[in-house]
Structure 1
Amino acid sequence: MTLVVIGPVTRDLIEIGDESIQKIGGATYFQAYVFEEFFDDYLAIVNCDDEKLVGSFPDLNKVSVIKKEDTHFFINKYPDKNNFDIREQLSNFANIPILPDDLENILPEKIDAFVLNPLNRYDFPAETIEYLKTFEVPIFISVQGFLRCTDDKVNENYTIRLDNFNELTTILSGVDAIFMDEVEKNIIGTDYDVDEMVITNGSQGSRIVAGGEIKIPPVPCDDVVDTTGCGDTYMAAYVSQKLLAKSAENAGNFASVIASEKIKNFGPYCSNK
């Protein structure tokens, strides 16, 4: 079963209290580590201007690069190192869309599902989403990137605000699952033609809306080191289990455990054998 994971790789600056660390990031990057552990048959497709950025992925044989003229840059600020639920974010807001022509020659012949990780609303134009829907396989989408808008400019980057997106209803129509947090849910609502909505709430746990509602309790973690990419890790862990025919509740509980393990270390998920 081949899973295709698509979305930008990023250059990140993480500021926790008065400490700053530069690293590679992006939802697809964080998810690759989870799929490497729990769903080995995957291909990660990323867009950026520097192919060397993929050198940190767990298996370079499972990465394809769409060369663009820019790369996403994010600054993630956690002003209170004792409360990682509070984050301030800036970005260069790179306009480097992934188009159908970019994908035609690099998609594998056999595809069983897509995971789409936009980091801003430029990444996946509606035409690209419609193209991927023609494969008639499950599609899992992270909503957050579609909601990101530029706000004030700070030096060369922009502060980010979240706002609804006119084309979002069409983009999400018919996909298998969408992933968002409680803030994003309050912005877009829940009236979408999707099978599942997975809604996370940081240290408060998560819930899955699929007909009824399933509440997933958080897994306590007393040693929080780095929460950047936690939601991406949760999403990948959830998808890995759903594709193995696990129930939404089992997938959610598994994802909660893996997300909790991720935040104990800096960077992507690291298997704790």
Structure 2
Amino acid sequence: MRKLFYITLLLLCAHFDGQAQLNKDVYLFAYFKNNGQDGLHLAYSHDAYQWKALKNDSSFLKPSVSKDKLMRDPCIIRGADGLFHMVWTVSWKDKGIGYASSKDLINWSEQQFIPVMAKEEGTRNTWAPEITYDSGTKTYMIYWASTVTGKFPETASKMEDAYNHRIYYTTTKDFKNFSETRLLYEPGFNVIDASIVKDHGKFIMFIKDETREPVQKNIKIAYADQLIGPYSTAIEPITGNYWAEGPTTVKVGKDWLVYFDKYRDHQYGAILSSDLKNWKDVSDRISLPKGLRHGTILIIKQKELNLLLKQ
């Protein structure tokens, strides 16, 4: 009887340990390569530093919407409904974004084109959309960078094709009905690549200061009490003496880890902070798939990764 008891106990322990492993958190990086023409790429990590490409670094979803049919800057979040919701840049010069959803990151819904800037006369582009969920209002906010001809002339430049971006947004509860597009962030400078996370009741926006004259090209932070703002002025850069863009962040224990594209150097960088004020460069500690471009990090479970590993 005693032997049977110990065998049963060992089996139970093995079962619960197996369940715990299946529910263990895994970091997932959604990204694109080249010009985004072949679609969604995914990589995973157990420590948020060392990343391995999935599916031999081939596409999980090929783009099908808009004239240009690109899938740049993919952003995926897990929604309150349990689905994965993704938005992306469909074109260099379109007035809308792409959207699709999935239960498992493998099988995706029909791709939709959301014309978020269609009513804004003079819109030149709709770049790097992201989604953040507000549990307080049970609302998703989709936001992106656009240049609208004639707006904000005080920060206009003739350099870099005279782009002069600001961050715009729309809200939705079901990804079928969307609010009117509004201006989200006007920091007094050319701004792109907003990425917003919530922490202890505050909303933290990581953005790129795109100013060319005098050159900035760095990552900064703004804060707000509500997801739709108003957000504070972003002043001090948190990145170093190089051009950086496309920030995405993940909390690893008590530390903030921010990834970004050192695009002029053709490499990725990462910085670490426990207080969002003092930052340490940890670029020498990271390893990413070759050719990885702008993307976002989310957290999935080991059982979800196991399915992805079979692809």
Higher helix share: 1
TM-score w.r.t. length of structure 2: 0.34
TM-score w.r.t. length of structure 1: 0.37
Higher strand share: 2
